[in-house]
Amino acid sequence: MDDLETGLLKEHKEAVKSWWNSDHTKQKWHGQTYESDFETHLHYWIRQEKTLKLLDELNLPKDSKILELGFGGAELAGKILDREFIYHGIDISEHLCENAKKIYSENINKGQAFFYKGSLEEKLNFEENYFDLVIICGAIHYAGKLSNNFLEVKRVLKKEGYYIIGQGNMFTLNDLISFRKLLKCLIWYFTNEKYMHSYSLSFRDIIFESKLKKYFLKYENSNFFKLNFMNKKSNSWKYKIHKRIFSFSSLKNTIENNEFEVIKFYGGPFLYASERKNSIIKKFFNNIFQFLLDKKIFNFLIKISDNFVFLSKPNHKL
């Protein structure tokens, strides 16, 4: 299991906590993210759509208990409550918990919804065999000790319970048509990177935020690496977060290596297309690829989709 080393783990956990309790995340996530018209939020919509599709296909009885880890803006909570399930949510952000409690105060008063501040990789304050389903979408990459997450989820799930994991892809078609993003992805692939440290696309950061760094350390302060050309599009993170990166195969293997069985998966989108730009071609191909994947005609397309959502269950045979 690729858990962070002890020396980095504390720094990482504090950074994640600080980031999700910052004013920046408060401004961004206290809205309705899934109703945003920003083109790059398409992956939120599709991920939510596929998560709910998997949930509906389970045909869980009404009043089933569902736990969501890292609920963020808590939009998914509303969809789950609309389906008459009992919802429990955990998030590391105090202000996101407060916001969720405000939005769903009526459900809380009826005993239908519960929101807690906590971590997705620490011991969960629930008894064994409590939940019918656990969901984590777009948050598992923050786990410093990923093995802890799977152990705790397995403990609180009922014997016939399920775990839905939705996650962004490190190799997306939308990225592969951009030279800088393609270069970054190629370096990730050939150096077998496990973590990303920013969304920066400067050539300097692409090198020094990867395992290539050790080959260029003695040139780090050279005039060449100070050139504007090498630093253009720099966007380094203030917080020292070691954000996991997953391909379809690596996440599937992670799930299976932690004694869960993958039952089904969905994915998408492929290309972002804004309503405010001339992007007819991108929209056309995105719709074609999405149709082919949804109909299971070309399952290999999942490997270049922006997100994938896995339905899994504990493998009690191991």
| pLDDT tens-place values along the chain, 318 residues long | 567 887 788 899 999 999 899 887 777 666 555 555 545 577 888 999 999 999 999 999 999 999 999 999 899 999 999 999 999 999 999 999 999 999 999 999 999 999 999 999 899 999 999 999 999 999 999 999 999 999 999 999 999 999 999 999 999 998 889 999 999 999 999 999 999 999 999 999 999 999 999 999 999 999 999 999 999 999 888 888 999 999 999 999 999 999 999 999 999 999 987 655 557 888 899 999 999 999 999 999 999 999 999 999 998 775
273: in domain: yes
Distance CA 86, CA 154 (A): 19
Distance CA 276, CA 273 (A): 9
CB contact at 8 A, 190 and 212: no
For residue 3, the Cα-to-chain-centroid distance in whole angstroms is: 17
* Domain around 117: 6-169+246-314
Count of helices and strands (H, E) across the chain: 14, 9
| Residues 227 and 255 grouped into a single domain | no
How many CB atoms lie under 10 A from the CB of residue 237? 16
| Residues 116 and 180 grouped into a single domain | no
| Residues 67 and 100 grouped into a single domain | yes
| Residues 126 and 24 grouped into a single domain | yes
| Residues 288 and 190 grouped into a single domain | no
Six token digits for residue 128: 């064994």
| Residues 193 and 94 grouped into a single domain | no
Which CATH number characterizes residue 120's domain? 3.40.50.150
| Residues 212 and 68 grouped into a single domain | no
CB contact at 8 A, 257 and 250: no
What's the whole-model pTM score?
0.93
81: in domain: yes
Backbone phi and psi for residue 222, each to the nearest 5 degrees, phi listed first:
-75, 160
Please state whether 296 falls in left (phi above 0), alpha (psi between -120 and 50) or beta.
left
**Most distant CA pair in the chain, distance:** 65
| Residues 213 and 288 grouped into a single domain | no
Structural domain total, the chain: 2
119: in domain: yes
Distance CA 279, CA 275 (A): 8
Pairing of strands 157-168, 195-196: unpaired
Range 226-231 contact pairs with CB under 8 angstroms and sequence separation of 24 or more? 229/203, 230/202, 230/203, 230/204, 231/202, 231/203, 231/204
| Residues 61 and 156 grouped into a single domain | yes
| Residues 164 and 182 grouped into a single domain | no
| Residues 30 and 108 grouped into a single domain | yes
Q: Residue 136: which of 123, 125, 147, 121 has the closest Cα?
A: 121
CB contact at 8 A, 309 and 267: yes
239: in domain: no
1: in domain: no
73: in domain: yes
| Residues 74 and 94 grouped into a single domain | yes
